[in-house]
Structure 1
């Protein structure tokens, strides 16, 4: 992946990029780390400034502002997007609010970064992508936060695929496994309600692996066949139950999203793919793995060993062929010229630093960021196709006995 070149001039000669962020929990903390760190590591054409953070709970959002270094706190996102000291709005809220906030921010003349998945429905995503396209004509940019593109090893994999190192693609297999819902007494959260999250493991984990597979392959998926399952359909309510639907007599609420999704797919080139996303893989905390097989070679990446990329050169003689480990810590690997000496690995948090780096450069250069809202819409269409296939039981055929 070629590093974007900064335009002439330094960050001190150009206006800062003043960021306002909506949401302060897990993703808010991760994005804060990215914005706070990026200008201290990379030479940037514009220096990010943490102008304001927003959340509904005044006490909590002020604490988050102090912890993460935001200059001001708001409790109404509408107030944040109209602030004169905010150039870019970073959306780290549940999916049900992405469309409303992003559309309002674009209408207010702001650049936008929106966490994945882009929206809860294809219709919302279509509206957002259209608004982003119109905003681009006015000089505003909109990007989706698929941070796993920013792991140096996956960026290197994309470069190698583009160079033809695996040749014509034949297979992609990818899984994203977690276990945080294995306990049936784990409480109901917004992530388990369709009206708030859009979908379950499919949107939360599946969106990541669909985007990553398409990014690495350099092409889009053309069709899917799917199964989904919800293993535990009611869970206890803990604390405030606002927005979590009807409460049963025993104090539980209904789970209305999938717990696991399995699907096969075909790329536009005809290459085959398989996907698995679940929150019920006992013992797996955040296990994302992807492998690409082509006529000339193969690449494999495991997020639990994120400084490594495995490569098999199928053109070598059998006597010395096999997978070899590439330690992705060299200065000519993506992003790594700004970090530590070779052999000193990076981690999960650095993907958000790299995300901020790429977006700042795109804004300063006035070019379309990647992944764009159009890319987010395409992922949303894949997720919708998976849900439709699963609802129709299109891959389930009873076995005769």
Structure 2
């Protein structure tokens, strides 16, 4: 391990402090081996090589196809594979469950895992419905009282440049934030002949671009500003309403794009735009934050860079300056490479796993919590309700 911080002490997982007895490694099970399962597995495989974290073992990878999950387990560094997540939850050697399965499975698996005394990390969005998200937050709150921790995987909180942006805003470098422009644009559905997938079916995906990428965008607004949403006006749109399926055309039942205006408790206003039909945009999460003393610009496709304008400087010296975020003083960067050697998208998951493990070891609630995921889910539900009501303003609960 390259970090200079001292190795953590290990504690009992059943105690209020949180980890496991006898300094034995924490056993990890991951559920799901596709896109997110691969990203998370990469993080589990590499995190201890760069950060001081509690000892753990990649015990088991779970998936529905026995042959495919067995192959993935070998490739991704898991000791074994399984097809029944319920049986895995019964094992005493499993202390952490990492849920990378589709959203329609989140509520059932996470609730069962928490009740079984397992620490839980679940991919965003928290659930497919507001009711499921509320139930998951209740389960997490009850488990936390027993020393069982939970976290939702909004990995973009772990982009060093965005973590630095959070620090600058908290330090008052932007002054009073007045408005935010947030856009997450992709183009992987531009071709009308792209085949039908579970992500285009409301029963399995919950929503389309709204839950898939607006969840990230809204979480960034709340994370960076430390604020809450009180009112929403939104619109959803489906550009291609039918896709080729195995037995012919199938109806698309989710949105391709979404737009929303968010009113925040502080008085700031955020505009949000997301699309999976933005030709030429591969994975562009853009954040623009404007305050009375400064502004910040970020684009995920330039992940190591942050634009910062100091409006308190003399006018003749003002202008956005490029901060290359890879100095040891920047968030997370002291564990990686020498200055000028950039990191990538996959590192956000490594940082996420680091923070999750350290919180478990310390017995402190990790962030973002299921309650944070629920806050985002409430905004998503309000956008959908507003769209159904043709741009009505929807009040958002902050309970």
Residues 212, 6 of structure 1: alpha-carbon distance in 2 compared, 3 angstrom cutoff: farther
2:182 equivalent in structure 1: 174
Secondary structure of 1:274's aligned partner: strand
Unaligned runs of 5+ in 1: 239-246, 397-401
Count of aligned positions: 381
1:354 equivalent in structure 2: 351
Q: 1:47 Cα deviation (Å)?
A: 1.9
Q: 1:222 Cα deviation (Å)?
A: 1.3
2:16 equivalent in structure 1: none
Alpha-carbon distance in 1 for matches of 2:179, 2:125: 25
Alpha-carbon distance in 1 for matches of 2:226, 2:297: 16
Q: Does the CA-based 8 Å contact 1:7-1:365 persist in structure 2? A: no
Q: Does the CA-based 8 Å contact 2:149-2:365 persist in structure 1? A: yes
RMSD after superposition: 1.7
TM-score using structure 2 length: 0.93
1:28 aligns with 2:37: yes
Secondary structure of 2:254's aligned partner: coil
Residues 187, 82 of structure 1: alpha-carbon distance in 2 compared, 3 angstrom cutoff: same
1:8-87 aligned within 5 A = 9=9, 14-44=23-53, 46-87=54-95
Alpha-carbon distance in 2 for matches of 1:10, 1:269: 41
Deviation track 1:123-154 (CA, whole Å, cap 9, x = no partner) reads: 10111001100100101001000000000000
TM-score using structure 1 length: 0.92
1:2-401 aligned within 5 A = 9=9, 14-44=23-53, 46-238=54-246, 251-394=248-391
Q: 1:48 Cα deviation (Å)?
A: 2.7
Q: Does the CA-based 8 Å contact 1:35-1:48 persist in structure 2? A: no
Q: Does the CA-based 8 Å contact 2:10-2:361 persist in structure 1? A: no
Residues 255, 8 of structure 1: alpha-carbon distance in 2 compared, 3 angstrom cutoff: closer
Secondary structure of 2:139's aligned partner: helix
Q: 1:14 Cα deviation (Å)?
A: 3.2
Secondary structure of 2:331's aligned partner: coil
61-70 or 75-84: bigger deviation: 75-84
Q: 1:395 Cα deviation (Å)?
A: 5.8
Q: Does the CA-based 8 Å contact 1:190-1:197 persist in structure 2? A: yes
Unaligned runs of 5+ in 2: 12-19, 394-399
Q: 1:17 Cα deviation (Å)?
A: 2.1
